[in-house]
A and B are shown apart, each in its own frame.
Chain A
Amino acid sequence: MQLSALFPQKTKRPLSATAKRSPQNRYRNWGPGLLFLLMSSVLAGAASAQKVTLHLKDAPIQRVFKAIFRQTGYSVVFDEALFAKEKPVTLDFKQASIAAVLNSCLKDRPFTYQISNRMILIRKKETRMGEDSSGKQTTPKIVPSAVGYLSLKGKVTDSLGNPLPGATVRLGTMHLGTHTSTSGEFELQAIHPGDELIISFVGFKEKRIVIGDNVRYYHIILRPLENLLDEMVIQGYGTTTRRFNLGSISSVTKEEIERQPVNNILQALENRIPGMQITPRGSIPGSAPDIKIRGTSSIAAGTAPLFILDGIPIPESQSTIGYQALDNANLSLLLDINPADIESIDVLKDADATAIYGSRGANGVVLITTKRGKQDGLHVQLNAYTGTQKVPHFVDMMDVHEYNQMRREAMANDGITPTAANAPDLFDWDTTRETNWQKMLIGKTSKTNDVNLSVSGGSENTHFYLSSAYHNEGTVMPGDADFSRRSFHGNLSHLSRDRRFSLNLSTTFEVGKLNLIQQDLTSFINIAPSYTLYKEDGTPNWEGARGFPLAYTMQPYASNTQTYNGQFNISYELIKGLQLKLNAGFNNSISDQSLKSPSYTLDPRYYSSGSLQLGNYNNYTWILEPQAAYTKTWGVHHLKALLGGTFQKSSSHVYNATGQDFASDALIGDIASAGTTTISDRTSTYAYASLFGRLTYDYREQYLANISFRRDGSSKFGPGKRFGNFGAMGLGWIFTQQPAVKASLPWLSFGKLRGSYGVSGNDQIDDYGYLSVYSSSSTGSLSYDGPSLLPSRLANPDYSWEETWKFDAALELGFIRNRLLLTVDYFQNRSSNQLVSYALSPQSGFSSYQANLPATIQNRGLEIELTSQNIDRPTFSWKTSLSLSKSKNVLLKFKDIENTSYYSMYEVGRSLGLRMAYVYQGLNDKGVPVLEDLNEDGTINSLDRKFIGDSDPFFGGMSNDIRIKDFSLSFFIAYTRVSNFNNIIPASRLGVLGTNNPAFFLDRWQKAGDEHGTDIPAFTTKSSTYNARFFSQSDVWWESNNIFRLSNVSLSYELPPAALSFLKISSAKVYINGQNLLVTDPHKSYRLDPLTGNTALPPLRTFVLGLNCSF
């Protein structure tokens, strides 16, 4: 058992990067006198070195102790104040025992000593150590001499019986203590009954026990700490606590993720992280939402943050074979991650937190950490849920009579007489048939099922965690389309007996299968109600305005994604405080996609045979990160240093093939049977190397400082431009550590001011952009006489990193013993050297080229985060979290913008999200919208728009977690301010053949004079009547709405243990979770959802019923 001495701590130290969950030994300023502790690392063979050789003349007595410590490795504990006035000592010993030396030097002095398990305690005779130099005693009791003391053993565990190694056990009055062993055990000597034992461990509540007269063994159970300040915060290449963190880092815990029955962890983050804006663009599984952290910082380079899964950068999404049902035809690769395997998701935002990621940190960093094993015992957990999903509400569309009336009126307005030729819907179609296309196309109730089984456990030094899960969900569209995911996650960690060597192996293997249909059918809900799917002869009716919509349900799109993620982490404590680490990892995501369009699903008037599209995407990344971390404490100074390097190589290989002219639909799965094939095969590689470091220092846990730097080299840039330097400095002041502040503001339990400034970069551009290259076009429309060579782009060897300078200042306050925590964070980011795909007139041969622009973009904003433990009693607890983010984007400067191709898109002094609108002047006496010709050039075009507003983000959320006895209820309300053109106003005319409209549009212009009462134009079939695209972007449709969404409700009941014991179940919980339950949208009557409008599947209302058992 390892013993060392320590002294009272008011607060716990941050978890160091090198030794998680292990508090550090350190000195404390204790009372007026300075207490010294001489520590040693326990070295093998030290036991034989208990002989001391000393030659001292008139030396201070402290030097004796130091010499003993240095020569024997024994810690010596003494109060320096007590020795301040002691006479110097003269000694001469050769190979003497410690006892001989001490006896000699303490002779005739009022001190006694005690050697206990490699530790020497020196104390004043006949009095307690608590007495300070003024002689005032902290405890009135006079205790007997050291000889009368007892020895005590015990074990410290959590409530589940897991041992807590490294917990601190100390005597409250004597400042003598120890750490528990890896099995949680401890032993103390020289204890007296009546002494108070204080047991503490990071993350747990401190416990105090008065030692009884006859008890010699204690089993101490610690309860988890509710103090939110000491929650672990994961930062880049390490961890810290909320108390000592200097960066702007927000986290979502596993509990918050587990409550949400979503398929993609990104959905679970929506509105929960201040500053992180996640905008869904549809609800088809695999949809990749738009993600921005602290606003848009780049005109044209990517704005997505860097995603890191267990230390390995992973691609967040990838392109598809042009599969349009997913927004941007992009597939979210995070869909493959099983939300139940996530321990935490931490989002790094400011310079202090992101500069260590250098060139990739400008858009923020998302750290995803998976679950790890626990000690002792075997824990088996089974979680299963089943539920339903459906579109929350439908739009009120015109019925068939209103539709017919609209058509007749439109033609009358146009002066056209309806005939069977120009209006088959009024003549040939059944004008009384009413089909509810919403019910038909997106009205299904789909099922979702999820099973997750995990086994965790371990012995003292080795822990493991294994989980396997299956998830399945259908869609609300007709047919058998579904998404399923099988995942396996394993984690194994080992710590050597001497606690110096550790390794951790983490692996994830996930298979996602998307079996979807070709289209998101939501955009078809406006088919005329009288359209019939089949003609009288039973063949598909292709002659509606939108073809035969069910054809899409027979065009299967399949995507099989496999993600392998493996991480290997070893660390070795070379000398005390210095750890060498190596993090190695790889990530491989493979996606096999196919889209089959058999001939019977294609309009026979145009096509005679079917087609097949295949796509194989392979992304491979390996990373190697050697690191050295050093932790040192002396006196009131605490220092942590980190130095490391990164070598990363990523390659992607995309293989696409399209086959046409199949002899038979039966062969459509076989590309080799295609009459003609088009193949494209692209490889790109990205290499990345860097050196990084960080220095963290605090003085008296009051003044904090952090410096980080990174030098990055990336293959994306031309020779001479490849390396860039990034760095940041963070400063903090915990002012509540100041006695004066403490005294004057007793209600303030915690107060910290922090600020950071630094630079990080953005390199999210295509590979090889700096090179003038030709690529081969062997097939496809551009090949000529066999393979031909085509220039890939306009080359520019001179572009370089985009840089974002980030300033962040925050005030963190804790009230009522930190039960109420408030963080107000102000940031100002300025991105310059904008890396753009510079848009050109195509007269240059290309419509863009890669360049840096002399433009600066500023994002400035405020984030407020409030966490409150409203009620915290054993049977009733209630916690509320609130966050709000608002930011303003400004194009600060753009040299010479009027001579660039951006002059019509952006305006200096305005947001990049600026919206330009046509000026609507009302309907004329024919019911046609009149738009103002602002530049008076006689025509309406995009130059006739004026600034109307911007789409700068303003969003937030509130969560409440309430527990009453065995019942828990939590709910989350998301808030988003949506500023945009009302997204339902059609970009085409009202009144065309085969297209129905929401009943909202019935309030249209009908006759002269109506223009004073309505803004809905007259029905018309003619495109030339007005340009609807312009009208839909006119100021009359601009709006800002506050949208509140009850996005999650979770209710659970913990079954009483008594009822379970006979089943050998240790705990069981039943729960009901609901997702997307309510949304406040002022336009519900004609809009499915305020964000997705009527063109993409709205967020589905999901209810699941689940059971969670532990064995």
Chain B
Amino acid sequence: MKFIYNHLCQRLWRSRLILAVFILVLGLSACSKFVDLALPPDKIAAETVFASDNSLISALNGVYGTISNSTDFITPAYFADELTFVNASGSTLDAQQNSYSAETDYQYFTNYYRAIYEANAILDALPKSTGLSAPVIAQARGESLFLRAFAYFKLVNFYGTVPLIQSPDVAKSALKGNTSIDSLYTAIIKDLTDADSLLTDTYPKSTRIRVNRGAVNALLAKVCLYRGNWPDAVSAATAVLNDPQYRLESDPNMVFKSGSPETIWQLWNPNGYTSVAGTFVPVNTAAVFYRIRPGLIAAFEPGDLRLQDWIRQGTGEADTLYYPYKYRNKSLTTGTDAEYLVVSRLSEQYLIRAEALAQLDQLSQSKADLDQVRVRAGLDAVVASDKNALISAIWKERQTELMFENGDRWFDLNRTGRAASVLKAAKGSFPDYAVLLPFPTDILLHNPNLNQNEGYKK
């Protein structure tokens, strides 16, 4: 060994070797810095998002964007008695026949919980953030609470006892089981009440694409109606109806235009046209794919402007087929002609108050509200002999006024308990449990604590 040592000592170019080792060590000590990378330009860290008003508003807009990504403007029309699709197959056929199984996923669950996560993330971050102005914090809190309540309102009506999740923490949310419908509504009402105290009557944007107190009260009125809380429904609707910035648009053709004074909340889109029109309005009117069920056409009284303005007939062989025409724009449209998807509008508030007043036996005030909607549709004042007849008239008015609007008819049939009778008559069969959608199997598989809805299990 000594020989080798000597050999090395003699031959080693010590200085050069030391230099090489030095460079290597220096290089490797830089490793931890080397693997510490800046974020790419298309991403920003969560802390940065909640450090300025502008980025916070962008994150808030993200929640609206997620809500507007929902597809529930179309499939619920199949669940109810509004629409059929020609050559339906798979999940569309199942939807029309109310024979959906847990194997089909209509995506409402995924999409609304995504919105809830985004709202929760904002609500969670706001108290920890610095550098935000107080009015923007209040605005963002109010809107986030509203959007969370809106998402739960949709979920509870589609699925029933969904898990109540109010934190973005995956440890708290991932395995949460069913929450009772009462608890869900309590949470919805609390969120709306809190939002009401945080928001003002002024819209943050002129186009009513983000919400104000009016939208909060409009949703609260709807929630109270669904819960049978008539006095609160009346007071919430009244708060909206008394607000001078809203009035009914006299021309039905203008109701769904972006500047309509009737609109309480609408969902922005980049090009001034909605995917609703893209779906329903045929490219070629000789080929109508989305067809209104005859029962809905029959529900219109003679002379109803809505049958003329909000519905169109096909041409040629298909001229007996009707398709929805509330939204017409199919290509880039700007200015007042633009169309945004309306989620909440004033005529519904009249109908909500009319129904709540009728339930409270204030029939003449109720009729007055109902007639506001009827007159705009070119119809005469309602004729109803008693309370029940009036309520039926209101329900029928809801059917024709609010058709194809974000599943309103489907929710209406369910909340009034008429789904089975009406749909059995319209479709021949309707299993009673089909008022609620099943939780998709994939979701159940990932959360053993979530129980399937009745009818979809033994």
Interface residues of chain A, those whose CB is within 8 Å of chain B, are: 41, 66, 70, 574-576, 578, 580, 604-608, 626, 628, 632, 634, 643, 645, 647, 661, 675-676, 681-691, 713-715, 719, 722-723, 768, 771-777, 779, 781-792, 794-796, 839-847, 849, 898-899, 901, 903-905, 936-939, 941-942, 1023-1024, 1027, 1029
Contact = CB atoms under 8 A, between A and B. Distances in A.
Q: Which of B59, B267, B283 lies at the interface centre, i.e. has the most chain A CB atoms within 10 A of its CB?
A: B283
B58 A842 contact: no
Contacts of B68: 781, 784
A31 B10 CA distance: 32
Contact of A723 (B32, B447, B448): B32
B4 A634 contact: yes
A645 B283 contact: no
Contacts of B332: 661, 675-676
Interface in B327-342: 330-332
B456 A939 contact: yes
Nearest to A786: B61
A79 B427 CA distance: 107
Nearest to B121: A791
B337 to A, nearest CB: 16
Interface residues of B, number: 93
A840 B37 contact: no
Contacts of A580: 20
B294 interface: no
Interface stretch (B97-105, B134-142, B354-362, B378-386): B97-105
B265 interface: no
Given A777-B62, A785-B64, A939-B458, A840 B331 contact: no
A1048 to B, nearest CB: 43
Q: Which 9 A-B pairs have the closest CB atoms?
A: A845-B117, A901-B446, A784-B65, A788-B61, A841-B447, A689-B31, A937-B458, A683-B40, A605-B287
Interface in B149-170: 162-163, 165, 168, 170
Contacts of A719: 36
Nearest to A691: B28
Interface in B111-147: 113-114, 116-118, 120-121
Contacts of A844: 113, 117, 165, 170, 173-174
Contacts of A715: 35-37
A782 B456 contact: no
B457 A937 contact: yes
A790 B446 contact: no
A903 B449 CA distance: 12
A773 B170 CA distance: 15
Nearest to B125: A772
Contacts of B90: 1023
A789 B283 contact: no
14 contacts: A66-B3, A575-B17, A576-B11, A676-B270, A768-B43, A774-B44, A774-B45, A774-B46, A781-B65, A784-B64, A788-B58, A939-B457, A941-B441, A942-B103
Interface string B33-58: 01111011111111001000001001
A683 B110 contact: no
Nearest to A992: B89
A606 B457 contact: no
B109 A842 contact: yes
Given A689-B35, A794-B170, A775 B109 contact: no
B302 interface: no
A488 B75 CA distance: 55
B448 A681 contact: no
A789 B59 contact: yes
B59 A774 contact: yes
Contacts of B120: 845
A626 B24 contact: yes
Given A605-B284, A771-B39, A849-B170, A841 B62 contact: no
B298 interface: no
B443 interface: yes
Contacts of A840: 170, 174, 446-447
A908 B122 CA distance: 39
A841 B447 CA distance: 6
B443 A843 contact: yes
Nearest to B163: A843
A686 to B, nearest CB: 8
A852 to B, nearest CB: 14
Interface in B208-235: 209-210
B61 A1024 contact: no
Contacts of A846: 114, 117
Contact of A845 (B17, B27, B58, B173): B173
Contacts of B49: 774, 789
Interface in B435-453: 441, 443-448, 450
A949 to B, nearest CB: 21
Contacts of B65: 777, 781-784, 788, 790
A575 B43 contact: no
A605 B170 CA distance: 45
Given A713-B34, A786-B61, A941-B102, 5 more contacts: A574-B13, A604-B283, A777-B65, A844-B174, A899-B175
Nearest to A606: B283
B46 A845 contact: no
Q: Which of B28, B268, B443 lies at the interface centre, i.e. has the most chain A CB atoms within 10 A of its CB?
A: B28
Nearest to A607: B283
A936 B458 contact: yes
Given A773-B45, A1024-B99, A685 B37 contact: yes
B45 A785 contact: no
B174 A773 contact: no
B242 interface: no
A722 B441 CA distance: 37
B282 interface: yes
Contacts of A683: 40-42
Nearest to B16: A574
B37 A775 contact: no
A605 B288 CA distance: 8
B294 to A, nearest CB: 16
A1023 B93 contact: yes
B27 A632 contact: no
A41 B37 CA distance: 47
A626 B27 contact: yes
Contact of A773 (B44, B173, B447, B456): B44
Given A605-B283, A605-B287, A683-B40, A783 B270 contact: yes
A645 B27 contact: yes
Contacts of A777: 62, 65
A789 B117 contact: no
A846 B120 CA distance: 13
A606 B174 CA distance: 40
Nearest to A782: B65
